[in-house]
Amino acid sequence: MQPARKPADLDDFGPDAAGDRRPSKASLIRLGVAAVLVFCVLVSLGTWQVERRSWKLDLIQRIETRVHAPPVAAPGREEWTGVTAADHEYRHVSVSGTFLNDRETLVTASTELGPGFWVLTPLRLDDGSIVLVNRGFVPPDRREPASRQAAMVAGETTVTGLLRITEPGGMLLRSNDPAAERWFSRDVEAIAAARGLTDVAPYFIDADAASDGPGWPVGGLTVIKFHNNHLVYALTWYGLALMVAVGTVYVIRQSRMHPDAP
């Protein structure tokens, strides 16, 4: 039987056997360079969010001004190519014409009144052009035109409301299916094609509540909401940048305070 072997001491293997755990000067330089780069990126992201917040606040102010301004004439045919979301969306407009009630389209909606449909009806103007008008919301039991005959306005009428930009394709994961009459977004071009309409404005109008009067459909339900979390995001990025700076300084100071630490 061999005698028990004495546990080896790290000193038996030489002074460098345990390894030198103190970061080398080259390592500290690399750490500093990486930290500076990360710090700059994080600060840039924070500054970008501050700029986005300023832009968003300006947008909200402009939209609020448009919504509450007196109605102006809706863009005519000669202005259609210049209609953009930035310059025209939510502008309070007015337009006169005759509803084509037999070509209305129901678009799935979820409102403060519950689930149901938006009623989009073509309005033919005196010059022959057409503007789609979202006359408002109806619940499922008012889907059929026969259940709201009183709202089928005949003859010349004037509509006031908010100009909205077309919503092509569908909403989120639900695509419009014109063949099956399943509409999830107010896609002006697709609706016009499905209804055999030509010379149609590239926008639609969300009618005011006063445009239809009492009963169904109910207008004036446009939701104007803009997410503005940019300040939170900016503070998050700046906070991360500060953590990187503090952490890097701490590591470097600790290394200098304990130069002989193994």
Phi-psi region of 145 (alpha: psi -120 to 50; beta: other; left: phi over 0): alpha
**Which pLDDT belongs to residue 14?**
47
Does residue 260 register a pLDDT over 60?
A: no
Amino acid at 197: L
Q: What are the structural domain ranges in the chain?
A: 22-70+226-262, 91-211
CA angle 159, 160, 161 (to 5 degrees): 120
Amino acid at 162: L
Decide if domain 91-211 falls under CATH 2.40.50. yes
Closest CA to 234 of 112, 104, 113, 56: 56
Distance of CA 146 to the CA centre of its chain: 37
User: How many CA atoms within 13 Å lie on the side-chain side of 59?
Assistant: 17
Question: pLDDT tens-digit profile of 167-208?
Answer: 998 877 789 999 999 999 999 999 999 999 999 999 999 999
pTM: 0.69
**Which pLDDT belongs to residue 13?**
45
Give the chain's mean pLDDT.
86
Query: Beta-carbon neighbour count of residue 131 at 10 Å?
Result: 24
H or E segment and range at residue 44: helix 25-68
Question: pLDDT tens-digit profile of 12-45?
Answer: 444 444 455 666 778 888 888 999 999 999 999 9
Cα–Cα separations (whole angstroms), residue 167 to 135, 172, 174, 185, 251: 16, 11, 13, 6, 53
The larger pLDDT score, comparing residue 212 to residue 151, is at: 151
Q: How far apart are CA 135 and CA 183, in angstroms?
A: 16
